[in-house]
Amino acid sequence: MSRVLITGSSDGLGLGAARLLAHQHHDVVLHARNRARASDALAALPEAVDVLVGDFTTIAGMRQVVEAANALGRFDAVIHNAAVGSSESRPIMTSDGMSHVFAVNVLAPYLLTSEIEMPRRLVYLSSGMHRGGNARLDDLQWERRRWSGPQAYSDSKLFVAVLAAAVARRYPDVLSNAVDPGWVATKMGGPGAPDDLAQGSVTQAWLAVSDDPDALVSGAFFYHQHRSEAHGSMHDDRFQDELLAACAGICGAALPGAGQGG
């Protein structure tokens, strides 16, 4: 039996993965951005052990989740599922001066990875759209570029795949992988999404707990329990280090071992 934390699990893919794991008798800890959504999450999955509350649009909210997670002790796995989509028609800036998309999709998983006691397995939700991401770090908050919601989303999902690979390289004892759940009919994906919603949660749950040899790998990109081709920058060591340094500069949390190379 494993203890698994799933961020952004009050509904959608995160709640779907939580249900799969709870029904397999694993201890599941949920996460929601506020107390109202936390209550909804526990009502939807009363088998959950607990639900952590913290708004990932702020660094303070991210650290609120870190503190609560560490108080519970080391997890066997963390699934970094929380994300916002590509539909923002203008750059929404957080109170910390970050792009909303970057804060939730990139900085939150980075900061949690840096400050939560390192689990045995890490799963990062990326997207097939990451292949259209730009491997550039000079304008992370979209202060100079003309805003594009889809591009900001693609970039963020590239960065989170790069984060997964960076952790795999730096922590050989940790299984760290990225997942494309498919384009599924969640609130973020929209009602017309063509992929199988039930399948959308399977791979991350499988990577979090399975002893299947195919799941006991690290630094890979998965789609429906199969390894899939990823953007070339995912395994660019220099770009990994540059992304880690950029995130550390924003939030003040250095990934342990960052800057030391492989």
pLDDT at 191: 54
**Using an 8 Å Cβ cutoff, are 33 and 55 in contact?**
yes
**Which superfamily does 3-251 belong to?**
NAD(P)-binding Rossmann-like Domain (3.40.50.720)
pLDDT at 182: 80
10 burial (CB, 10 Å; 0-12 / 13-18 / 19+) is: buried
Nearest alpha carbon to residue 122 among 75, 159, 84 = 75
How far is it, in rounded angstroms, from Cα 250 to Cα 209? 32
Instruction: List the domain boundaries for the chain.
Output: 3-251
Rounded to two decimals, what is the model's pTM? 0.93
Which residues are known to be catalytic? 153, 157
The DSSP bridge pattern shows strands 77-80 and 3-6 to be parallel
Beta carbons within 8 Å of 8's beta carbon, 6+ residues apart: 14, 31, 33, 56, 81, 82, 83
How far is it, in rounded angstroms, from Cα 202 to Cα 16? 8
Query: What does the DSSP 8-state code read for residue 224?
Result: T
Average pLDDT by stretches of 10, the chain with 262 residues:
97 95 98 97 97 98 98 98 89 94 98 98 97 96 94 97 98 97 57 62 97 98 96 97 98 75 42
